[in-house]
Amino acid sequence: MPLKKKNKTTIPLRIIDMHEEGYHPLVNVTVFGKPFILVLDTGASKTAFDQNMVEAQGREFILSDRLSTGLGTNNMTSSTAIIHDLNIGSLLVEEFEVAVLDLSAINIAYAQLGYPEVLGVLGGDLLMKYKAVINYGKRLLILKD
């Protein structure tokens, strides 16, 4: 259960072993009124949600003129969506823009390793905004609101 002290929200992390590829920290969130999992990704400049999962929630997104880099490519077409109701623990993130990308390769890899499907990645935009502290030893994400 997330704890909230003063202006801090402490969220437990689940750290999964990607075998020879390292480790991925996962964080439980609520968005669209439903629970989901995000990969905490300090290397992602922007929080991104999987296009198929956004569509499955009946949400609209706007095709962007920008090309996204990373995820093994320099020319992935991206879209954006405005999110109004992301809860990370007890922290409500109101109205922010997320990238909407085809992240199916991540979920295919996770399924092959027996891990749950993820909505996307929690990126540097929100980690910086909320002054994130990641404690791998204690398996905690601390956000300051």
What type of residue is 47?
T
CATH (domain of 15): 2.40.70.10
Quote the domain boundaries for residue 22. Answer: 3-144
Rounded to whole angstroms, how far apart are CA atoms 95 and 90? 16
pLDDT band with cut points at 50, 70 and 90 for residue 61: low
Tens-place pLDDT, residues 2-43:
655 568 999 999 999 988 878 999 999 999 999 999 999 999
Strand pairing class (120-122; 34-40): parallel
Query: What values do phi and psi take at 24, rounded to 5?
Result: -125, 125
- The model's pTM is 0.85
Virtual torsion, Cα 4, 5, 8, 9, nearest 10 deg: -10
Tens-place pLDDT, residues 87-123:
999 999 988 999 999 999 999 989 998 999 999 999 9
CB atoms within 10 A of CB 21: 9
What is the number of structural domains in the chain? 1
